[in-house]
Structure 1
Amino acid sequence: MAAFTRWLTELTGRARPDDGWYGVFAARDPEGLRACLDGADVLPWDVVESLLRDIGEVTDGPFATRGRALYAAAADAHDGRPGGAEALAERRDLMEAERRYAETRSRELAERLSGAPDPAEAARLEHDLAWARDDRARAAARVRELTARLARWGPGVPAGTWAGAGAGVSPAGAAGPVSAAPAAAKPVKARRRPRGARYAWLEEGAEAVEQEPTPLPALPAGGAAPRGARFGGAADPAPAPAAPATDPAEADRAAANAVYALRRLRAQGRSGEAHVLLCEALAGPPSRLPALAEGLYRAGLGADWSTLLWEAASLPPARLAAVAGVLADAGRAADCEQLLRQGVARPAEELAGACAALRAEGHHREAHALLTAFVRVRTPEDAARLAGTDPHGLVPQLLAAARAVSAPRERELLHALRVAGLAGA
């Protein structure tokens, strides 16, 4: 760790602190960057590659090659500490949630951009889309990196973690500054949402349309950036209204149709279409989901339910809260808590909205579980930023959540609240 830290200090000493990616990361996550420079944490390799580009070093040159070797040794030393593998798996889960979230955000922005807005709005959307795609690429690179690091400590993966490693996404390092836009992907024809008994969970008359992909514009040298050198982040989507309730018989019928369809698709090796069906299930009324969970487990398709929960973690705040509330009301407390844990990587404003929606529906225990998961895995400074969105309501709730984690975590949060001027809220 000490050897890599010295190499990293040499690297950052050659970079301009007010320009390029170094300036971006220093402005967005100064505490995280400082922890890495002090040897308390390991900087993600995609960030290191961006810093190398800042100073004009090629990633396969002698300086970068030496840094890569030191980085691998430092990561092994860091991960080999007591509890290191568990922390690594938890970090990977957060980054996979970030990847899905950024992917959803990219699609939303591309769809809005295709609506031919006025020039000023189009420019803003292009800027936001560029950063959302950068978020997605960085998160995918970090999922792969964390998965590879975790694999070195044994073949098993703790329950509830995602093991896909972001397959099919651009390689690590593809998230750096762009000097030119890649060629646009081939346009995809618009299609109607599937019909028939297999898709019984869908709302009548609903449609899904695939938009023509938008070319990636050049990323600016400054401006908005991934939130956090260690964890990344993405822009905030608009909340979605909760779907209407469904009677039990209809939910059971829809679940049976969905399970039948998924079993057929899995048997035929059509995993992509199976994944689409799971996403379509999330688009229907949340009240149908408990019946779907039971049907999937009875059919031996528990992995599909876990995938659906991963997708649900990237839902807009109001709908995330609606799904969590339905699961809690149905007695699926473990599923509810897993969903909330996977959602804590979201921006503070979204988490505040999800907490408010949960409490408005009387799900105080679930709101407390969400905040407890947040203070356990996010920094005290992040918690203070979350408290700042609603000081009167969230300060006491966050302190209670930190108290449930540990006395040191409560003290750290109190200090961060004082620094933010929120201790007396």
Structure 2
Amino acid sequence: MVLNTGDAPTPGADTEPRALARGFNHLDPAIAERAYETLGTIRRGCPVARSGELEGFVLVTGYDEIREVAQAPDRFSAYVDGLGAAAVVTEMREAVAPMFETDEEHHHQWRRALMDFFTPAVAAAQEQYVRAICRETLQELIPRGAADLVCSYTQQVPPLVIGRVLGLAELERAWLSEHVRALYDAETLTEAQQVGRVYADFLLGQIRERRSHPARDLLSCMVTAEADGHAAGEDELVKMTMLMVAAGHLTTADSCATAILQLLDDSALRERVTGDAGLLAPFVEELVRCEPAVAATGRTVTADTQLGGMPLSTGDRLLLAWGSANRDERHFADGEVFRLDRERSRAPHLGWGAGEHRCLGRHLARVELRVMLEELLSALPDFRLQPDATVRRTFGVIRGVAALPVRWSRR
């Protein structure tokens, strides 16, 4: 049953949605394949509901409700313990990353300090570098005739790009790329902690170098920037840099993998964008609406309030399911369907976030995704899934694809 805005639910009518919400755990791998089907059922019955998983949180799935939270930092703080995007750097749990976990004026000061590195013009200036990395990577792949495009392509390009934006030298970018991929590919907690310590030490060395000899790069700006008259401490800077790399690497890599899977599943769509590279920009935008890489982020309630009719108490943790918001029937007709020619809705999609924490790097991500797809379609025009390949989607903080085993004609 779809509840129209303002309708009062019939007692007992939303038993199934509330039961699904109570057991919803976005970190459970079993949820991935049916994530949006499950979230849709929850959203239509109760767009704000409580989950008993992960020590308890409030699951927010509706467009209006998620946008309200994102635009009300006075009631909903971006700092949340153990839930959402910051959980990707659990080894630095006690530190607060200024750009990602603060709000209002403190956050605004940081955003103003860093935004010059993420303007549309600066993003466009990175295109030549992105294209060169793509071509170099693909030239190595062509003779093989087969590869997993996730580990061999989509995960290769983004860490080098964000490394360049940070100001790392070429060999340092290669080191960063290797270790950040090792961190997120770790199979055990012990392995992740070991790689994480080495990675954090590397970033700390870079931070100390910039403090002594600042340059004209993003990392130097982060080190020397002040908010409320104070520069960030070393732990804050390490965590913020880790999150900056994760934002630049994980989201773009997983978005590209999801885009490739979309093209593999829809041959007519693939033929259209292959024949007209100008369609890749709207393709990327619709992809971000339909399957945003950032699947869920957290907020903390800072004062007793209510959301969607549900009373909330100070300290309650919220999980915002962004992709669910972009499929909300109240704003997006056929929101579950990917449409290259989708007309722009009066309500902007939330694939890049909303409010003061809207994705700072969205212009760069658009350039990377467009170029990565254009170069892939040019270099491997007949790539296809390998026989009997099983493709597994991922879902959690990030939405992506575990692997894309494909083959193509050697040239």
* Bigger radius of gyration: 1
The structure showing larger relative contact order (alpha-carbon pairs under 8 Å, at least 6 residues apart) is: 2
Q: TM-score when scaled to structure 2?
A: 0.24
Q: TM-score when scaled to structure 1?
A: 0.24
Higher helix proportion: 1
Higher strand proportion: 2
